[in-house]
Structure 1
């Protein structure tokens, strides 16, 4: 038996496991497979149009009757700064030359949009059981509409201060995102990555500071990690990196090879890929320009000038400019279907929890 059933009661899932939304690395297929295994499947919508998000949720609804989590970013939109963009292009100039690319050719802007009225209408129409946010919460009017649609709201906190703010602002559940986690840091009340606590330190302090259920995230990829999260007071866990090698993920073959070779020191927190701190496997551009660069334009504009380089390198089978987000437990990932992985994770965790209780 799970020692805390609040997440199970709230989400109506078989297990208190949330499959993390991983924009660019997955779509409805992984959501469906994770849900079939008993987890809460999460669809990343920050890089999707309203039409595409609607289409993806409809695919999920046709395949499973499980609850669905639609995930959105709610960063403040910052206009591109021409002088900073030019300086960034200058930093990337040698790479453009190396790949015979025209540095002045027009490039599509990075497609990571914050939650807005159009997406809110999609939520109101589709009524997903859960809506999760990254980088805080949307403005009060939009949040009220999401709640009025009957959705449970969850968001990520990287500090106790952020967790308290989220609870006071209406979050039903808080994800405590430790520094070990892959992908973008959910930070929104601070931009100081040097002070980001790890999962083991963050979870119990967030649990003590708020009344809503807490989901632990960061460095959790097996039954030991799940059991530890519950011992720290979490009511559930969010797992992302462990699902990347599942056949249902959209990760490319070269990326799967790198993930399988990953070690505890293979990832870093970088801002060069998008302009915002995120943890991923080290690649060439992170190594040579970062991992943290003051020249990187603000999120998401750093990604714009990297896009042609990414495409050119990937054609050669290289991931020099590809952001492969992953957490520090990357080595614990497994090549197995997502449903089977979910059940294996839950079974292993329950066995450990039962041993601890006995």
Structure 2
């Protein structure tokens, strides 16, 4: 009979592929992780519902194993429009260099309700939420469909709110994590290390998946010894053949083009960790406002990527990025679970 943790994280190995919206997460990546014994995830962020359905159908065609889906909880509409307008003016020369127009800095909810309904009908095992606790109606919809509900948290207070919302499990994210920080309050960056965050939420009794800077077998063993039921890994998969990571992104990681990572709002208006490229450093004082700033900079980032310029797009990466290798998913999983 499976243990409760095996029911909530139903993979052979206690390893979860982090959902990485915006390109790196692909059906091929999720399916390959599942085939290697981990739990694969489809990232729903930024995808229209019809595109999400296609991703789920493709993943199902590649694998019959349980999979997860991650959704972004809509944030506040309020943003400093004047500050964003000033930021747009500062970026005008960047856009001119790539012969593109900046995007319209609008708020949207990322088709949240439609995606919840889609996920509930898609036969997925787990739905996790990032940027806040899911609304009661969303939890009820997923529960009726038998979907396990998880919430990304960075603190004890957020974990308590997630528990109150009906979470079955917590994805505990440390400051080491690459990509967007899952803080409920977008105003302040998360500065809590992963092991400290795990310790802070342990007494709540909910199973915890540990996320943030996990890049080696020793890292995986460390978080399992700290009480996590699984380790969630994203950056380590970025340079696999199955990932959708762009060529300049891969090269920047493998060639160690940049000295370090930095937590910044420059690309999306929400705090996120990525390689410290020119854009991140020059716009360290970028205003908040998500997804408004994301929409503003999106055409610029896409144009720079198409031009092969790694100095402008977001290159999300956790603190363990120096361990990234160009190798198949199966080898990444083997390497990360070697101590188990």
Fold match (TM-score > 0.5): yes
The match for 1:11 is 9
Correspondence 1:189-228 to 2 at 5 A: 189=185, 191-193=187-189, 196-207=191-202, 209-228=203-222
Q: Which has the larger radius of gyration?
A: 1
Number of aligned residue pairs: give it: 338
Structure 2 distance, partners of 1:316, 1:197, is 36
Q: Which moved more, 1:148-157 or 1:331-340?
A: 331-340
How far 1:320 sits from its partner (Å)?
2.3
1:287 to 255, 264, 281: 281
How far 1:15 sits from its partner (Å)?
0.7
Q: 1:79 to 1:168 in 2, by over 3 A?
A: closer
1:158-181: CA deviations, max 9, x gaps? Answer: 111111221222111101100000
The match for 1:188 is 184
The match for 1:248 is 242
Q: Which moved more, 1:85-94 or 1:228-237?
A: 85-94
Unmatched tracts of structure 1, length 5 or more: 351-358
The match for 1:334 is 325
1:235-270: CA deviations, max 9, x gaps? Answer: 111000001011111112221111113499511100
1:132-164: CA deviations, max 9, x gaps? Answer: 110122211121111111000111111111112
Structure 2 distance, partners of 1:198, 1:246, is 27
Q: 1:278 to 1:110 in 2, by over 3 A?
A: farther
Is the 2:156–2:201 contact (alpha carbons within 8 Å) kept by the matching residues of 1? yes
The match for 2:155 is 159
Correspondence 1:91-240 to 2 at 5 A: 91-101=90-100, 105=101, 107=103, 113-114=109-110, 116-189=112-185, 191-193=187-189, 196-207=191-202, 209-240=203-234
Structure 2 distance, partners of 1:262, 1:159, is 31
TM-score (normalised: structure 1)? 0.87
Is the 1:33–1:339 contact (alpha carbons within 8 Å) kept by the matching residues of 2? yes
RMSD: 2.3
Is the 1:6–1:235 contact (alpha carbons within 8 Å) kept by the matching residues of 2? no
Q: Which moved more, 1:63-72 or 1:313-322?
A: 313-322
How far 1:32 sits from its partner (Å)?
0.8
Unmatched tracts of structure 2, length 5 or more: none
Secondary structure at 1:349 match in 2:
coil
How far 1:212 sits from its partner (Å)?
1.2
The match for 2:67 is 68
Is the 2:129–2:152 contact (alpha carbons within 8 Å) kept by the matching residues of 1? yes
Is the 2:258–2:275 contact (alpha carbons within 8 Å) kept by the matching residues of 1? no
1:182-208: CA deviations, max 9, x gaps? Answer: 010100047322x6210122112221x
Secondary structure at 2:210 match in 1:
strand
Is the 1:159–1:196 contact (alpha carbons within 8 Å) kept by the matching residues of 2? no
Structure 2 distance, partners of 1:81, 1:191, is 12
1:27-56: CA deviations, max 9, x gaps? Answer: 111111111111110100011111111111
Structure 1 distance, partners of 2:104, 2:67, is 31
